[in-house]
Amino acid sequence: MATLLDPVGLLDALGAVWSPDLDAYAEGCTDAHRIRCVLCGTAPCTCPPFGTPAYFALIDQRRSRR
């Protein structure tokens, strides 16, 4: 079980999804503008504005909710 002492485990337990580019950024191998968005899959992000129906549709699609 995840604890507050294990932040990655806690976020994983909550269902967090990480960009495949995050490790490269953390290691200094890429710039922030090259991190692909988890929802739209592009860098830089091309998601619709937060809170719009289109944005929430992307979240539902990503989590396979219909």
How many independent structural domains does the chain possess? 1
CB 30 within 8 A of CB 24: yes
Answer yes or no: is 1 within a domain.
no
Domain region containing 26: 7-62
- pLDDT at residue 48 in the model: 95
Q: Of 25, 62, 22, 24, which Cα lies nearest the Cα of 40?
A: 62
**Residues 39-62 pLDDT 10s:** 899 999 999 999 999 999 998 888
Q: Which residue is listed with tokens 């485990």?
A: 9
Please write down the long-range contacts of 10-16, taking CB distance under 8 Å and 24 or more positions apart: none
- pLDDT at residue 64 in the model: 75
Q: What is the DSSP string of 2-27?
A: --TT-HHHHHHHTT----TTHHHHHT
Answer yes or no: is 2 within a domain.
no
Using 50, 70 and 90 to split pLDDT, how confident is the model at 9? Answer: confident
**Residues 14-29 pLDDT 10s:** 888 889 898 999 999 9
Six token digits for residue 64: 């396979």
Answer yes or no: is 26 within a domain.
yes
